[in-house]
Structure 1
């Protein structure tokens, strides 16, 4: 089974590649995988049997020609320009998040039009950013998008394109609206929701952090482990189980920042007062800190999952973090 992962060197992409190596049967029972991994840079020691790296854009003509010659069975499209960067550099955001995506979809659809391949399953990492400043509480999964960031607009437009390609039988798409997946690396600061990950890093290391939302802010959280579970389910669901929109609002864990902070502190033994202070930014809180409960009954019935509880989320996230240098953490505190 030939599987492509764009953004394969990123936070979610690298973890997905590890999961695919460990559990190839997660893709609808596939036992043998050939992987084409795409990113701007390849990690050190990236060569492995059955793995081919393409270093560069996922819209590179050379890559699209290679995928035409060797059509994939499944594509995980995870690569994008982050929301903050897309706001600062709108031309870059449009190119990377929308125009390059169109080039990729056209490249994947080409062999199907020529009847030399069947339509590949494409799992698209969309985002709750499509909703903008969300409401009401609770929110149902058919809540209409109304993005207030370019990033959300790009994601929504790509969802619509994927539904149309699927309607024409040129792709077999599954768009998943992901919430804040934690804990992203400290270096990934281009996401407006970066505070959700920084809380875990700061408290686990015992270093100071200024949180840009209030303790009462409510956000949608998902551990990396649960994110991977949902991506793999999206790859293996039969086409007959897909809604006409080809889009799923995933079940999410809605929790306050205060509840997550206290759960992390309890599990790590950290003193919140020495690590964390709050300096709420109205814009950040409006976009990422007022998220209501979500009723995603059809997604749950299809098998998509959330983290069940704050305690379960925190346990999964802390288990996934690299070991902390306790001496360095004590000095930072």
Structure 2
């Protein structure tokens, strides 16, 4: 199986690559070649079946190189984070919209030329729902993005849905929340505080949290995120609902619940609160969420707050 991973050097991408090399998709050893693309690579895996290419995943010459031979499976993770995309609209459009459509177009051409339709697992985002959010959310909640990032993710969903219907691609879309716990702080992620809480408690450092202790958010560890991405790749298309877009189950928890559990684990958690209305409105007023179709399809959350913390701070 030839697999392409965009954004392979990112927080989620590096963990996904490790899992693919160790476990494969259906079974260990079923990955014959792993094509990795990102703007740069800190330390690409030294495996015979790995080929890492640094550059713009939507550039024609890079697509020519990546897709010189057909691929069977694509994990499209690459994107400019939401806050960064809002600050630099041209960059956000180039990467999150036009490059993505260029990738999908070339994959569709591959399918036509080789009669080999690749499975595409697209990492969409809960940003498609916009803000403010309704009191409760389920599989019937309509997307109403209020950021360019959310709009571009929704466009990707719709194109992939249409091309799946037409047989050009075989696509699954996962609307992912903020994934924890990223190392360090990133100005590009508006939800960076969610990871910063974990890292500060782990290091015994003080942190000024930009949302209140009663702010509620959706939590998912990197390991759980990779579980769900791989599950999407393994799903049989038979019997799935027509849109094939899911919001995987999440733990819906107040920030105080996370901080209290971290304090138990590390002896203390030196978290102060300095709420920022904009950040709290976007990331701290998330309601209960249950996409029943995602549950029935087998997607899962981390289970408990203690399991979330253990998995979020692991290297998996």
Task: Tell me which interval the TM-score lies in, with the shorter structure as reference length.
Answer: over 0.9
Total equivalences in the alignment: 316
Change in Cα spacing, 1:189 to 1:33, as seen in structure 2 (3 Å) is farther
- Provide the TM-score with structure 1 as the length reference: 0.91
Residue 304 (structure 1) shift: 0.2
2:175 maps to what in 1? 177
Indicate if the aligned counterparts of 2:185 and 2:196 stay in contact, CA closer than 8 A: no
Secondary structure of the corresponding residue to residue 75 of structure 1: strand
CA deviation profile, 1:70-115 (whole Å, cap 9, x unmatched)? 111000000000111111110110110000001000111112122x
Secondary structure of the corresponding residue to residue 280 of structure 1: coil
- Structure 1 unaligned runs (5+)? 322-333
Structure-1 separation of matches of 2:192 and 2:204: 18
Structure-2 separation of matches of 1:302 and 1:28: 20
CA deviation profile, 1:279-315 (whole Å, cap 9, x unmatched)? 1111111110011111221111111000122122112
Structure-2 separation of matches of 1:287 and 1:241: 35
Structure-2 separation of matches of 1:103 and 1:225: 29
Answer yes or no: is 1:186 the counterpart of 2:184: yes
- Provide the TM-score with structure 2 as the length reference: 0.96
Indicate if the aligned counterparts of 2:108 and 2:117 stay in contact, CA closer than 8 A: yes
Indicate if the aligned counterparts of 2:3 and 2:31 stay in contact, CA closer than 8 A: no
2:63 maps to what in 1? 64
Change in Cα spacing, 1:45 to 1:86, as seen in structure 2 (3 Å) is closer
Structure-2 separation of matches of 1:294 and 1:28: 32
Secondary structure of the corresponding residue to residue 121 of structure 2: strand
- Select 2:284's aligned residue among 282, 289, 294: 289
Structure-2 separation of matches of 1:30 and 1:125: 24
Write the mapping of 1:1-333 to structure 2, written as runs, cut at 5 A.
1-24=1-24, 26-27=25-26, 31-44=30-43, 46-114=45-113, 116-270=114-268, 272=269, 275-320=270-315
Residue 239 (structure 1) shift: 1.3
Change in Cα spacing, 1:90 to 1:154, as seen in structure 2 (3 Å) is same
Structure-1 separation of matches of 2:225 and 2:68: 31
Give me the CA root mean square deviation: 1.5
Secondary structure of the corresponding residue to residue 69 of structure 1: coil
Structure-1 separation of matches of 2:254 and 2:200: 17
Flag as ranges the 4+ runs of structure 1 deviating above 4 A. none
Residue 45 (structure 1) shift: 5.2
CA deviation profile, 1:172-225 (whole Å, cap 9, x unmatched)? 000000011100121433101000000000011011111010000000000111
Structure-2 separation of matches of 1:45 and 1:4: 14
CA deviation profile, 1:146-179 (whole Å, cap 9, x unmatched)? 1111111110111001001111101000000001
